[in-house]
Amino acid sequence: MTRALFVQQERIRQARDIPAGGNHNSAAAVDKWQILRALTEAHGHFGLTDRTLSVLDALCSFHPERELEATAETVVFPSNAELSIRSRGMAGATLRRHLAALVQAGFIIRRDSPNGKRYARRGSTGAIEDAFGFDLSPLAVRAAEIHSAAEQAMAEARDHMRLRAEITIHLRDIAKTVEAGERELAEPTVWQGFRQRLAGLSGRVSRAADRQQLRVRLDALVRLRAEVEKSWLDSIPEEALQDQQEEDMSGNVVHFERHIQNSNTESFIDKGSEKEMKQTPTMGARTRNTESKTGDGNREALAVPGLGRVLAACPAIKDFAKHGIESWRDLVATAGLVRAMLGVSPHAWDQARQAMGDLAAAVTVAAILERAEKIRSPGGYLRKLTARAELGRFNVEPMLKALEP
């Protein structure tokens, strides 16, 4: 008997010597199926395999009661043949190996009879007076330890999933930005270098990868993303940015001022539900600002809330502004840059501006950016909203309300 196993068995004996109402940390009785569930969650912590757990599950099934007592022996005495059947036909040699693993881990204790067989001796009343087999009470004695390990294992699993999800998001966003840079900007050598570095970090994440390996890859992707986005913004000349702003806002500076002045009164969209929008097809037409036109001069632009409210609901777009967002002009210019990072084509962007107006299109892109990780195809989503705007069935109010706390 190893020292560790001796310590575990001595701990069980001491637990039984504590009278009822004592201050022992373990519960007097535990639900055997709940403790098995917790042990399954924490199997890695205790070095148990799924086959070992299936043998323990089979052993527990021979105990007729649902609860296991910590202060009394709970001995089950199945034969190897019966235990093999409940272990889904496990071979005898394999069964003995897993039983030994459970004993070594301290979750069961052997109660050997003089002849080495497992059986129970009953008294004159039929009650079991003595039993030889496997004692399951260590599960109850170690319940607090098992549950604590299970909680830790579940927390680590959630953190593991979060790291993998962040890696996937960064890979996707970097790839879209690099693709946009290669397609729309100069300096192909720079973007090819980024693509090569991305390829080096794009290998499949192994299921066996530990948290440290995931953290190293995530940190490398965060650094690469920062460089890629900085290069994207720096590659756009200040003159081009000013030209885009002037183009976006051509002839309509006064109208923007009117948008802002009216944003607290009639140009606000009433806080109706999206259901109401669907029930009233003309809703979009009623909520348009009649003094602001889209780029083609024929369709009225959709009304939008105040800039402060838009930025409060969609704060992510501020990270992409070169000099901050202080006006609608800044928002429209930044949306024009962000749409490429989202994979929205210039044609889809132009269509949205024509159907919605520059301001509503910019607000829509900001909202899409805020939920980018949940939208499979931002470009396709924007086209769908554009089609609704062309039919007079879209406004930005429900979209903003969904983003507000």
Domain containing residue 39: CATH number: 1.10.10
Q: Looking at the whole model, is its pTM more than 0.85?
A: no
| Two structure tokens written together for 41 | 């969650």
Examine residue 331 and state whether it is found in any structural domain, yes or no.
yes
| Per-residue DSSP letter, 75 | E
Query: Where are any strands of DSSP class E within 107-208?
Result: 109-111, 119-122, 128-135
Which of 51, 48, 26, 30 is CA-nearest to residue 39?
48
Task: Give the pLDDT of residue 4.
Answer: 57
| Two structure tokens written together for 5 | 């196993």
**393 near 283, Cβ under 8 Å?**
yes
In this structure, the answer to whether residues 384 and 256 fall within a common structural domain is: yes
Q: Which domain holds residue 188?
A: 154-234
Sole residue written with tokens 């593991």: 160
| Two structure tokens written together for 380 | 């396709």
Examine residue 146 and state whether it is found in any structural domain, yes or no.
no
**360 near 374, Cβ under 8 Å?**
no
- Please state the domain count of the chain: 3
For the chain, how many residues are written? Answer: 405
Question: In angstroms, how far is CA 153 from the centroid of its own chain?
Answer: 16
Examine residue 203 and state whether it is found in any structural domain, yes or no.
yes
The SS3 assignment for 132 reads strand
- The residue from 173, 203, 234 where one domain ends is 234
Distances (CA, A) of 374 to 238, 247, 394: 33, 31, 20
Segment 163-195, tens digit of pLDDT: 888 888 888 888 888 887 777 766 677 888 888
In this structure, the answer to whether residues 104 and 117 fall within a common structural domain is: yes
Task: Give the pLDDT of residue 118.
Answer: 85
**302 near 389, Cβ under 8 Å?**
yes
Task: Give the pLDDT of residue 405.
Answer: 72
The SS3 assignment for 292 reads strand
- The residue from 88, 117, 141 where one domain ends is 141
Residue spans of the chain under pLDDT 70: 1-28, 185-187, 236-301
Task: Give the pLDDT of residue 43.
Answer: 92
**69 near 137, Cβ under 8 Å?**
yes
Task: Give the pLDDT of residue 27.
Answer: 52
**123 near 131, Cβ under 8 Å?**
no
Rounded distance, CA 116 to CA 207, Å? Answer: 43
Rounded distance, CA 307 to CA 35, Å? Answer: 55
Rounded distance, CA 400 to CA 182, Å? Answer: 33
Task: Give the pLDDT of residue 57.
Answer: 93
- The residue from 200, 218, 234 where one domain ends is 234
Phi then psi for residue 129, to 5 deg, are -95, -30
In this structure, the answer to whether residues 349 and 372 fall within a common structural domain is: yes
